[in-house]
Amino acid sequence: MLIINGSAELMKENASFKKGDRHEFNMFSRDMPLEDQLSQIEEYLVTRGWDNIEVTNNGIVEDPSNIQHAVLVSAYEKAKSEGFAVTINNQPLV
């Protein structure tokens, strides 16, 4: 499973986040490599209101038992069945 870290700007009104703020994200992709997934990743985030996407890091999760955070475990499981899953950090980047 591919894991992607980066940031994106919220482009739509949202009950949880302020439009125009940039937030960090973690994203899981069932398919690899990253280069083959970039347009799908962009489409996935843009349809959810995020744009100006900047990927800062990526890697491969070979052993999901190493994921310790419950939200990330849930996202990993969702990506296994749906192809993609993203988590957004609640605090905007300053």
pLDDT recorded at residue 74 = 96
Q: What is the dihedral of CA 16, 19, 22, 26, to 10 degrees?
A: 40
Pull the structure tokens for residue 60.
């491969």
Residue with tokens 């499981």: 77
Q: What is the pLDDT along the chain (94 residues), one digit of tens a residue?
A: 999 999 999 999 888 999 999 999 999 999 888 888 899 999 999 999 999 999 999 999 999 999 999 999 999 999 999 999 999 999 999 8
pLDDT recorded at residue 57 = 95
Give bridge partners of residue 60 from the DSSP assignment. 2
pLDDT recorded at residue 94 = 81
For the chain, domains (ranges, CATH) are: 2-88 (3.10.510)
Give bridge partners of residue 9 from the DSSP assignment. 22, 51
Number of neighbours of residue 91 by Cβ within 10 angstroms: 9
Is the pTM above the cut of 0.85? yes
Q: By three-state DSSP, how is residue 9 classified?
A: strand
